[in-house]
Amino acid sequence: MGIHRIFPELWIFVVFKVDKQGNAARKAQRTNDELQTQVDSLQVQVNHLQTRLRSTTKLGPVVSTSRSTSLKSLTLDDTTDLADSENDFDDI
């Protein structure tokens, strides 16, 4: 004879609590995975920008007036666009 037959209300409560905790753990893991993906993406962008900065510093600044951007107004989307557009010089 199992506990679920002796104390059915307690059994339902325990199953509900375990299910609720499992859902919370899965949600936390998904959130963690999403945040880790964002961190990895940002790290790639930082590495790319650091490499570009080092190469620009060695060669001297090459700034087009149409592309100059204030750092105060720079966003992550802008950095991706700038990094991609500046790769046009790689073929030279």
How far apart CA 14 and CA 21 sit, in angstroms, is: 11
Q: Which domain holds residue 35?
A: 3-84
In a domain, 92, yes or no: no
For residue range 14-65, list pLDDT tens digits in order.
899 999 999 999 999 999 999 999 999 999 999 999 999 988 887 665 555 4
pTM beyond 0.75, yes or no: no
The predicted pLDDT at position 72 comes to: 53
In a domain, 54, yes or no: yes
Number of domains making up the chain? 1
Identify whether the C-beta of residue 83 lies closer than 8 Å to the C-beta of residue 49: yes
pLDDT of residue 92: 45
Is 91 among the domain residues? Answer: no
| Cβ contact 82:67 at 8 Å | yes
